[in-house]
Structure 1
Amino acid sequence: MDTYLYGIDFGTTNSALAIYNETTRQIEHTLLIPSLIYFAEHRNADGSPSFVVGEEAIAAYLAEGMKGRFIKSVKQVLSRPSFTETRIQNRRYNAAELVAIILSELKMRADRLTGQDVRKAVIGRPVHFDDDSLQKDTLAQTRLSKAAALAGFKDVRFQFEPIGAAFAYERTLKRRERVLVADLGGGTTDFTYLTLDPQKADYQDRKSDMMATGGIYVGGDSLDAAFMWERGTPYFGKHTQYEATPGKRLTVPKSLFGRICSWEQMNFFNGPRIQKELEDYYYFSGKDAKFKNLMTLIEHNLGYSVFQAIEQAKISLSGNEQAVFRYHQLGIDIEEDVLLAEYESIVGKEVRRIADYLDQFMRDKHIAPGDIDSLFLTGGTSQVKSIRQLFQSRFPEAALNTGDHFRSVATGLAYSGYLFNSK
């Protein structure tokens, strides 16, 4: 009987699973789902939690009039000690349990295809879950390990995500190359410098080929947050003034709007205390219409649809000089032209953070641009024009290659079975 190994790329925005047949040594299928969970407004009739995952989460969210609880970018809370649990449908969920819901969905879909209860997996992880804290990184790794166990995986190894992408790229090569891999995802940007050789694709020990790894906690969500801050929050009352005391007007605290720029915070931005605070500001602002939009955004869980509109503008600007930031829902009306130059200015700080980290990585690892034969970029954020220009300007002599931006990592992880042969 054939045996299988799953390569799993649990991502901030999307998650992928590649099914590797260990008998035939071939990838048989690759699955991709959005990393989304939608909890319905009410539990099932038997009292069990009612939720759906992936594409079905979006459909259910819209069908139920956005009344339930929509969870996105749950990967971002793995390294957050401040996040211990959240209450949904009168049940408490910790970080590992939320991640396990997505991993379980992937496993269930894959097991249907293999006809087996596959419990062996290589799961990807960023080089750093958090930029500056070993403690947070360890916490995230522990939570991800627990989530894998809860999802039914008993024999698990972890691999850096950019190394997974590298092994997928290696299968396309004709000769040996020194490659810089950049995995630009929703939450992190990770780098690996390594030697790839198609003649060694099935070797059991690849440690000597891994020359350097590094990463920074900046990704597509960071770009979207910057755009939301500059172009989105004014529509939700960022400049609203309220009467603090008779005759004295102040501007509503900016911290409120910072929280709607971050998915990891917006997911859990709905407690009774914040609702009371918003109601007070609204009343003392003279019932400002734009501040009302903020209350509507939170009350009706509209964050996902707003960020989808931002995402659409970002995608359009990857190939055009102008796009429209368009959103019309429940009285919130946004229709604004965005020039590519304006967008690049808005996200410029985040792109510079990636550039500065890349330069530091090259210095620290003693890598010269001429040491790199080719670049391999993967992840959805690699399609942003200013990101591509960054790599082209830093490495003008190196060939720039891309693969499947959403499946490459999972495929390479599935080719990492050698990890089970090392102690």
Structure 2
Amino acid sequence: MRPPSIGIDFGTTNSSVAIATGSSTVDLVSFPTLTGTTHSFRSVLYLEQLRQAGRTGVKSFTGPAAIEHYIEAEAKGRLIQSLKSYLPSRSLTGTEVFGKRYAIEDLVSRILTDLRLRAEEHLGQPIRSATVGRPVRFVGAETAEDDTFATDRLRAAFTQAGFEEVTFELEPLAAAYAYESTLAKDELILIGDFGGGTSDFSLLEVGPSSLGRKRTILGNSGLGLAGDAFDARIVRKLVSPALGSNSFERTFAQAADRPANIIPAAPAWIYANLERWHYLSFLKTRNVTEILKSARLRAQEPEKIAALITLIDEDLGYQLHQAVQRLKVELSHNETATFRFRDGSMDIVAEVERTDFESWIEDELASIEDCVDTLLASSHVDPSKVDRVFLTGGTSFVPAVRRIFESRFSPARVLTGNEFTSVAQGLALRAAEVS
């Protein structure tokens, strides 16, 4: 029996698995949740300490189950998110959880194992090979060697998860395969694939005449920012100030000819990590706790530092992320939206104009513009020659992002695919074509 053609999109925020069922059709693997099923598997891992009959152990949960167990737990375990973004880092080899050291590959493999097991249950047979997506450039990768290092670590995690053969394909190219399956004629297209941590772009020729042979890629480019960078701006503008980022230590009487010292209440690096919500779990250390307890005693606004301590101690990164996501979605449909984050000692409510949000992310938007323009120039392609622009990923729905492409190619030529599963579908189709 020929092995199934499997495509796996292991994303920074979401993952999905697709199985090719024909020359242009795929079946998406579904994952159970408390409210039904979903094709989008959250790329999260929850580790919970178990104590039974005087013995201790650690149990892991992934995807929707991880979030459900985390929310329901009274004594919070460790919720770890966005593991893909750590792969290029040679300095971050792992983390300690409940006194045990775990390598990054160990943590990633737990998510991949559950993806494989669920796909096997869905398909009814073992899965040992897959075509896997990878970004043009990983988050944090500064050189080609960094990208190779990240890819090697990802391959090792897949091997640990029970895969014997893994073929990597660029994620924007996979999105192109998904779009190509809908075509009746050849086209020159630009693919924009926006993930949680990366934005990748490719120019290539696709269509019926390309089937069965390698596609002509005119050029590709990528940068290590996307949805998570937009989230960071919202946290910096709305959340961090409520947690003391703009607060200072109390000043005491000083000589009249000497100005008072203005010292931040808490170190800036803690708020920098707070902006990357997937780093929040890594702030839950004895060292950070002692720093913040001392800062609260010296702060002009101790209640804000106390709220920051609560956020870290109760590991509320997921709830914070959800509040940020809700605001982004609302601002994609409305000119004004309300940001709400209420939990324990925190009650942050703010009205946000879309124009304000766009001003917060103007540097990121400029970087995306430069990346697209550089790709067109280096490929010697005039925008008028591009038949279609196919965008995928949640960030592609942000109006300011869409305007970048609509202003260069016209709105009629800009299409949007399924934001969470297009890449997995394309990977499965590519796997079937190769086999």
TM-score interval, normalised by the smaller of the two chains: over 0.9
Partner in structure 2 of residue 263 of structure 1: 277
Matched, 1:15 2:25: no
Judge which range, 35-44 or 319-328, deviates more.
35-44
TM-score for both structures, normalised by structure 2:
0.91
Judge which range, 377-386 or 264-273, deviates more.
264-273
Q: Please give the per-residue CA displacement for 1:335-391, whole angstroms capped at 9, x wherever unaligned.
A: 111111111111111111111111122222222112211000001111111101111
Partner in structure 2 of residue 4 of structure 1: 4
Amino acid of the structure 1 residue aligned with 2:110? I
Change (3 A) 1:272 1:245: farther
For 1:82 and 1:244, how far apart are their aligned partners in 2?
Answer: 38
Contact 1:77 1:264 in 2 (8 A): no
Partner in structure 2 of residue 172 of structure 1: 182
Cα offset, 1:287, TM superposition: 6.3
Amino acid of the structure 2 residue aligned with 1:338? V
Partner in structure 1 of residue 117 of structure 2: 108
Partner in structure 2 of residue 319 of structure 1: 333
Indicate the SS of the match to 1:250. coil
Summarize the alignment of residues 109-124 of structure 1 with structure 2, pairs less than 5 Å apart: 109-124=118-133
Partner in structure 1 of residue 258 of structure 2: none
Change (3 A) 1:240 1:96: same
For 2:416 and 2:14, how far apart are their aligned partners in 1?
Answer: 18
For 2:251 and 2:3, how far apart are their aligned partners in 1?
Answer: 67
Structure 2: unaligned runs, 5 residues or longer: 31-39, 255-260
Contact 1:240 1:288 in 2 (8 A): no
Contact 1:43 1:89 in 2 (8 A): no
Contact 2:244 2:301 in 1 (8 A): no
For 2:251 and 2:284, how far apart are their aligned partners in 1?
Answer: 24
Matched, 1:85 2:98: no
Contact 2:44 2:63 in 1 (8 A): yes
Cα offset, 1:74, TM superposition: 1.0
Partner in structure 1 of residue 392 of structure 2: 378
Matched, 1:153 2:192: no
Q: Please give the per-residue CA displacement for 1:13-61, whole angstroms capped at 9, x wherever unaligned.
A: 1000002248x87523334211111112446777542121111111111
Decide which of 210, 213, 225 is 2:220's aligned counterpart: 213
Summarize the alignment of residues 355-394 of structure 1 with structure 2, pairs less than 5 Å apart: 355-394=369-408
For 2:157 and 2:349, how far apart are their aligned partners in 1?
Answer: 41
Identity %: 34
Indicate the SS of the match to 1:191. strand
For 1:211 and 1:116, how far apart are their aligned partners in 2?
Answer: 39
Q: Please give the per-residue CA displacement for 1:259-314, whole angstroms capped at 9, x wherever unaligned.
A: 10013432311221111111111111166111111111111101111111011000
For 2:236 and 2:52, how far apart are their aligned partners in 1?
Answer: 38
For 1:146 and 1:44, how far apart are their aligned partners in 2?
Answer: 33
Indicate the SS of the match to 1:404. coil
Partner in structure 1 of residue 257 of structure 2: none
Q: Please give the per-residue CA displacement for 1:238-269, whole angstroms capped at 9, x wherever unaligned.
A: 11211488754512332221110013432311
Contact 1:67 1:300 in 2 (8 A): yes
Q: Please give the per-residue CA displacement for 1:313-335, whole angstroms capped at 9, x wherever unaligned.
A: 00011111111110110110011
For 2:269 and 2:230, how far apart are their aligned partners in 1?
Answer: 18
For 2:394 and 2:150, how far apart are their aligned partners in 1?
Answer: 22
Partner in structure 2 of residue 250 of structure 1: 263
Summarize the alignment of residues 182-331 of structure 1 with structure 2, pairs less than 5 Å apart: 182-201=192-211, 203=212, 205-207=213-215, 209-243=216-250, 248-252=261-265, 253-285=267-299, 288-331=302-345
Contact 2:49 2:58 in 1 (8 A): no
Cα offset, 1:131, TM superposition: 5.0
Change (3 A) 1:244 1:98: farther
Partner in structure 2 of residue 342 of structure 1: 356
For 2:8 and 2:149, how far apart are their aligned partners in 1?
Answer: 20
For 2:252 and 2:147, how far apart are their aligned partners in 1?
Answer: 45
TM-score for both structures, normalised by structure 1:
0.93
Change (3 A) 1:69 1:103: same
Cα offset, 1:90, TM superposition: 2.4
Contact 2:29 2:122 in 1 (8 A): no
Matched, 1:28 2:27: yes
Change (3 A) 1:91 1:43: farther
Partner in structure 1 of residue 366 of structure 2: 352
Matched, 1:39 2:52: no
For 1:112 and 1:225, how far apart are their aligned partners in 2?
Answer: 37
For 1:66 and 1:15, how far apart are their aligned partners in 2?
Answer: 28
Cα offset, 1:411, TM superposition: 0.5
Indicate the SS of the match to 2:12. coil
Summarize the alignment of residues 412-423 of structure 1 with structure 2, pairs less than 5 Å apart: 412-417=426-431
For 2:178 and 2:279, how far apart are their aligned partners in 1?
Answer: 34
Q: Please give the per-residue CA displacement for 1:189-238, whole angstroms capped at 9, x wherever unaligned.
A: 0011111113433x1x214x222111110110000001111111011111
Indicate the SS of the match to 1:38. strand
Judge which range, 3-12 or 244-253, deviates more.
244-253
Change (3 A) 1:47 1:122: farther
Indicate the SS of the match to 2:333. coil
**Superposition CA RMSD, Å:** 2.1
